[in-house]
Chain A
Amino acid sequence: MPGLRNTLRELRAQRSMTQQELADAIGVTRQTVIAIELDKYSPSLETAFRIAQVFGVPLEQVFQYEWKRK
């Protein structure tokens, strides 16, 4: 997903959290967590906020977006 980056893997590793544990915490499948980590899927705003809440960090620390004007 060009422009959108995330630190999901790093945040998860810091807390020794598995993909399945994170998936259960935010109410998605493990495959969706994998897709987000690989930048293959941009989650909804609601899910993005849920992820940030689970890690206890601001949204900007989880997701970074670089807007590239054409």
Chain B
Amino acid sequence: MGNLSYQERTLWGSLVVELVVYLPYFFFHHQNSVAKVAGMIFAIIVLQIILQSIIAAVTRHRITDERDKLIQLKGYRAGYITLVTLMVVGLGMLWMHTHANAGEFQIHHLNMGLHFLSVFFGMAVISDIVKTLAQIVAYRRGF
């Protein structure tokens, strides 16, 4: 960690928090609820604040330069492309599912909001992880 810039350290911190909080959510939960999604978002915010405060405290040079800004833009571009791709794929799957079931959408209308919340939350999470990874790769490999 000694050779990493402040921005790169914060990215690694973000990635750790995202993976620590989201991976169990994706792999170990079956019964979804609004409270769980809200809990995840709350956990992310709290853990990010704690971790980023620690990183800021142990980093002497906390400046951001032109390279950091360019890498940030590259990351957001990768995240945006991922989000749009996932939305198109998601809509395509929904369309195919609807047609395969003769126009009947199988999700009960009471659960509809929760399902969409989960799907959109998942898309946002994956896009955010891709954004962070793209930025880390840009720092490591150069561009």
B143 (CB) vs chain A CBs: closest residue: A41
Q: Are B66 and A28 in contact (CB under 8 A)?
A: yes
A29 (CB) vs chain B CBs: closest residue: B5
Which residues in A have their C-beta under 8 angstroms from that of B141? 40
A58 within 8 A of B: no
Q: Which of A28, A30, A38, A47 contacts B142 (CB 8 A)?
A: A38
B65 (CB) vs chain A CBs: closest residue: A28
Q: How far is the CB of A34 from chain B (nearest CB, A)?
A: 8
Q: Are A27 and B65 in contact (CB under 8 A)?
A: yes
Q: Are B61 and A28 in contact (CB under 8 A)?
A: no
- Quick one: given A35-B67, A41-B67, A44-B66, are A29 and B6 in contact (CB under 8 Å)? yes
Which residues in B have their C-beta under 8 angstroms from that of A41? 67, 142-143
Q: How far is the CB of B70 from chain A (nearest CB, A)?
A: 9
Q: How far is the CB of A13 from chain B (nearest CB, A)?
A: 20
Size of A's binding interface in residues, CB under 8 A: 15
Q: Are A29 and B67 in contact (CB under 8 A)?
A: yes
Which residues in A have their C-beta under 8 angstroms from that of B4? 31
Which residues in A have their C-beta under 8 angstroms from that of B66? 28, 32, 43-44, 47
B64 (CB) vs chain A CBs: closest residue: A29
The distance in angstroms between the C-alpha atoms of A28 and B71, with both chains bound, is 14
Which residues in A have their C-beta under 8 angstroms from that of B101? none
Which residues in B have their C-beta under 8 angstroms from that of A43? 66-67
Which residues in B have their C-beta under 8 angstroms from that of A47? 66
The distance in angstroms between the C-alpha atoms of A43 and B67, with both chains bound, is 8
12 A/B residue pairs, CB under 8 Å, sorted by A: A1-B142, A27-B63, A28-B65, A28-B66, A29-B7, A30-B61, A31-B4, A31-B5, A35-B67, A35-B142, A41-B142, A41-B143
> Given A29-B67, A32-B67, 5 more contacts at CB 8 Å?
A28-B66, A30-B61, A32-B68, A40-B142, A44-B66
